[in-house]
Amino acid sequence: MANPTPAELEILQILWSQGDSKVQAVNDKLCEQKPVGYTTTLKIMQIMTEKGLLGRKKDGKSHIYYPLIKQGDTQTSLLDKFIASAFGGSKSKLVLQLLGSKDISKKEMQSIKQFLEEQEKQK
């Protein structure tokens, strides 16, 4: 399955976070960030349906759309591609760049270290 385009990803994020939705609801959410025409959103969601990224069921005169791909799978796939193109395929280079950045919050560092500790216990 091909990766979603940027505009498609925005729509997927909305569906993943707020659940199955009508075009109107998705468009409203998108408009909170930047103005975008209703038919633009509709068109992209129709394309996504053709591609197999979304499914839909009829509801009155409109449709309710839902994602056919999992958020985690998509993130993994996008991440792999990103690491290949920007970090020469090295996962650790990316992580080190992140861990070394000044603007990573303490809370974020906390949850990372905690994850590693729990992983140690597993063994």
Partner DNA sequence: ATTTAGTTACGAATAGATTCGTAGATTAAA
Partner DNA sequence: TTTAATCTACGAATCTATTCGTAACTAAAT
Binding site for its own copies (CB under 8 A): 6, 9-10, 13, 72, 74-76, 78-79, 82, 85-88, 90-92, 94-101, 104, 107-109, 111-113, 115-116, 119
Q: Judge whether 62 and 24 are in contact, CB under 8 Å.
A: yes
We find the least distance from the C-beta atom of residue 62 to DNA, in angstroms, to be: 3
- Which CB sits closer to its own copies, 17 or 57? 17
We find the least distance from the C-beta atom of residue 33 to DNA, in angstroms, to be: 11
Q: What is the 3-state secondary structure (H, E, C) of 47-109?
A: HHHHHCCEEEEEECCEEEEEECCCHHHHHHHHHHHHHHHHCCCCHHHHHHHHHHCCCCCHHHH
We find the least distance from the C-beta atom of residue 93 to DNA, in angstroms, to be: 22
